[in-house]
Structure 1
Amino acid sequence: MHSHGTDQAAAAEAGGLAVSRDGYTLVPLSAEFTAGHSGELRFRIRDGQGATITRFAIVHDKPLHLIVVRRDLSGYQHLHPTMATDGTWSVPLTLPRPGVWRAYADFTALADDGRQTATTLGVDLVAPGDYRPRALPAPATTTTVDGFTVGYQGDPQPTLTVPLSFRITGPDGARPVLERYLGAYGHLVALREGDLGYLHVHPEAELVDGAVQFWLTTPGPGRYRLYLDFATGGEVRTAEFTVSVS
């Protein structure tokens, strides 16, 4: 099992900007897809000597989290590939619209001596066709998804670690019963507009005054897109927000 550290400098550094980092390389075995058609993404993680890595710590209930999003920050998907005995990861993947998409492999590698290295590697995937980027929605602290209203409190500041508290209201106006998803009552991904830098966001394991709370460190000013996964009634939903940090 793995526990998050509290190194603020490391938390403020965006990941997913390269295929190689921290001594590990993401090697895609498939990178081109047909928009709107089901495909499969296959890849391996290799170390500095070129050996395929097969040992990973369990973080948020999974050995590896795969985030896929188009470069205009639309079409977010949070997937969990399976690994074969030879270290090849695979997952069904549909890219619904043409364009260049970014895939992030978020994992913690286990060395033979027990050392844990948490990192995020990124690679571009291509769905050929007429790419028409969507404008990023304006910043807002509330949004709706499937009739649920989701709002957050908190004021992200450059290089500072601040709490973000999310409250969810059901279609009937009452607070729904939240279920644990990936070991907590929510999972939050933050991506930076422009270079699509990936930010680690650490959750509280328990609700805080009825809210789902995370700790976010933004490395600098700019616009960020937040994706909150939460579970109710056995179904996972995603609420999306644009946040302007200055």
Structure 2
Amino acid sequence: MISSSRPVARRRAFAAIGVAAALALPLAACGSSGDTSSMPGMDHGSKPSAASSSSASPSMSDMPGMDHMASGSGLSDSQDGYRLAPKDTAPLSGNQAAYRFTVTGPDGKPVTDFTVDQTKRMHFYAIRADLTGFQHVHPTMAADGTWSANLSSLAPGSWRMFASFTPNTGTGKGKDLVLSRTATVPGDFAKTPLPAPATVTQVDGYTVTVKGEPTAGMAHPMTVSVAKEGKPVTDLEPYLDTYAHLTGFHEGDAAFAHLHPTTKVTGGHGGPALTFHAELPTSGNWRLFLQFQTGGKLHTAALTLRVG
């Protein structure tokens, strides 16, 4: 996984944890860029894996029909009477043009009124089960409440689709919700393990360094610095009303976490240091995706974080 009509620091229902001192963050050297907030090319091999753990078996949250039984950080398709419902019954394809869905409320009707958060009414994420594929897009909504999330090419394997939103009316008004469902793209694939944790990674000529010492069940301030050719970068442009957007997914079940930015946007140029409020409640490996913009171009760096 960073001004709007709502505070930048979102509070997820699944993470209620307090702040501690600075930490040293492991990262993995892998990243890419794009002109949109999607991230094609995040496959670490030519044939990425469908499994995200060291085991060959998929997690229960990746099995068809298990959405209602899944629990944890955004791993259910329903919460507080709200439900994520896909509109299309046909299987996904590698050239999927759009993932269409509705969010129904406690009354069973599609919700059409959402609060703007970080300049958008809906944030949509697609993540492969092995965390080697990632896209972050902003769907458009039709008058009947049908959302269309335009996705780039999807590699074969199991994917989890996340919808992050806040209802502006009804019983859920003001509640930050993250719902998800699984989908499978048919085709051949091979398992690809996550890169080993490190403290520095590079993307598009930029060097990203993270410091910290994460602990499960506690929140920590996290510092990310950006440099280019050995010099601190100070021309970061606002992206979604922040200087960087940071999202994390847990290895094994793809549990979702949005790491809240605490660096205020004060103008058109930010950097080199950025701070985040890291909320990672579960131990293990987390795959983080840092998105930042320079010269009108979006860069996305992938980070592997080990949480003890």
More strand by share: 1
For the residues of structure 2 that align with 1:88 and 1:7, how far apart are their CA atoms?
24
1:33 aligns with 2:33: no
1:190 aligns with 2:248: yes
Aligned to 1:227: 289
Aligned to 1:214: 276
Q: For residue 193 of structure 1, what is the amino acid of its counterpart?
A: E
For the residues of structure 2 that align with 1:82 and 1:11, how far apart are their CA atoms?
30
Shift of residue 63, structure 1, vs aligned partner:
0.4
Aligned to 1:62: 120
User: Residues 18 and 74 from structure 1, CA distance in 2 versus in 1: closer, same or farther, beyond 3 angstroms?
Assistant: same
User: Residues 5 and 43 from structure 1, CA distance in 2 versus in 1: closer, same or farther, beyond 3 angstroms?
Assistant: closer
Shift of residue 223, structure 1, vs aligned partner:
0.8
Conserved in 2, the CA contact under 8 Å of 1:33 and 1:95? no
For the residues of structure 1 that align with 2:12 and 2:237, how far apart are their CA atoms?
29
Structure 1 residues 122-166: Cα deviation after superposition (integer angstroms, max 9, x where no partner): 111221011212111111121111111111112211111101111
3-state DSSP of counterpart to 2:119: coil
Conserved in 1, the CA contact under 8 Å of 2:14 and 2:73? no
Structure 1 residues 143-198: Cα deviation after superposition (integer angstroms, max 9, x where no partner): 11111111111221111110111111124644251000001101000111111110
Q: 1:159 aligns with which of 211, 217, 221?
A: 217
Conserved in 2, the CA contact under 8 Å of 1:62 and 1:80? yes
For the residues of structure 2 that align with 1:164 and 1:236, how far apart are their CA atoms?
21
Conserved in 1, the CA contact under 8 Å of 2:206 and 2:227? yes
Aligned to 1:237: 299
Conserved in 2, the CA contact under 8 Å of 1:143 and 1:239? yes
**Which is worse superposed, 183-192 or 123-132?**
123-132
Q: For residue 275 of structure 2, what is the amino acid of its counterpart?
A: Q
For the residues of structure 1 that align with 2:197 and 2:292, how far apart are their CA atoms?
20
1:175 aligns with 2:237: no
For the residues of structure 2 that align with 1:153 and 1:33, how far apart are their CA atoms?
39
Instruction: Kindly report which structure 2 residues correspond to 1:1-246, keeping only aligned pairs within 5 A, or say none.
Output: 1-3=5-7, 4=9, 10-11=15-16, 14-30=72-88, 32-35=91-94, 37-112=95-170, 115-171=173-229, 173-206=231-264, 210-246=272-308
Q: For residue 306 of structure 2, what is the amino acid of its counterpart?
A: S
Shift of residue 68, structure 1, vs aligned partner:
0.7
3-state DSSP of counterpart to 1:220: coil
Which residues of structure 1 form unaligned runs of 5+? Answer: none
Which residues of structure 2 form unaligned runs of 5+? Answer: 18-70
Alignment identity in percent? 37
Q: For residue 23 of structure 1, what is the amino acid of its counterpart?
A: G
Q: TM-score, normalised by structure 1?
A: 0.91
Structure 1 residues 72-94: Cα deviation after superposition (integer angstroms, max 9, x where no partner): 00111110000011110002223
**Which is worse superposed, 49-58 or 113-122?**
113-122
**Which is worse superposed, 60-69 or 88-97?**
88-97
User: Residues 204 and 141 from structure 1, CA distance in 2 versus in 1: closer, same or farther, beyond 3 angstroms?
Assistant: same
For the residues of structure 2 that align with 1:92 and 1:6, how far apart are their CA atoms?
26
Structure with greater contact order relative to length (CA < 8 Å, sep ≥ 6): 2
Q: TM-score, normalised by structure 2?
A: 0.74
3-state DSSP of counterpart to 1:137: coil
